[in-house]
Amino acid sequence: MNNEADMRSKIEEDLKGLYQRDADTHFFNTVTDHLMKTKMNMPEAFMKKWITQQGEKAPSMEEVEEQWPNTEKAMRWQLIEGKLVREHHLHVHKEELVAHAVAMVKSRMAQFGQMMDDAQAEQLAMSVLQNREQSEQLSEQLLQDKMMAFFKGAFTLKTSKSTYADFLKLANSNK
């Protein structure tokens, strides 16, 4: 930054990025809320009984009943997401996952002022992907990015101007 104008421009660019991310999150949540209204006939009694018989420490029927609203919502989303992935070919491929992990490693290292060449970044990314939990998390991020791109193409975006405070009220009303 050489002067105040450069600094103002950089701040404006950063804020636009933050606002766009918030707007994208709001859009994604609005679409998923809309999709969750899809009518499904789930065999509730069967599902509850099945849950009580899963794993070494299976929950009791009382625990299942208590957690059912959240469980049912998660199952419904899993079914919807699975159908979207299958029908619209939103699969996450290994090459994409590796490329995403390399980009993430480079970005994080750059935040600390450390530049990496492609070979170093790929080596570090592969070690990150060896951790199953991190690999699944990155895969989910990539899938969500693909779903966002699909949603933006499949649904009509309605853009409107508002103050940030009004936007926050709108975004928080959808939670």
Q: What span, in angstroms and rounded, lies between the C-alpha atoms of 108 and 71?
A: 35
Mean per-residue pLDDT, 78-94: 95
> Angle, nearest 10°, between helix axes 164-173 and 4-36?
20
Render pLDDT for 113-144 as a digit per residue (tens, 0 to 9): 888 888 888 999 999 999 999 999 999 999 99
Q: What is the pTM of this model?
A: 0.76
pLDDT beyond 90 at 95: yes
Rounded percentage of the chain residues whose pLDDT exceeds 90? 54
Q: What span, in angstroms and rounded, lies between the C-alpha atoms of 88 and 153?
A: 12
pLDDT beyond 60 at 175: no
The helices-and-strands tally (H runs, E runs) of the chain is 7, 0
Evaluate whether 142 touches 93 at the Cβ level (below 8 Å). Answer: no
Mean per-residue pLDDT, 61-82: 93
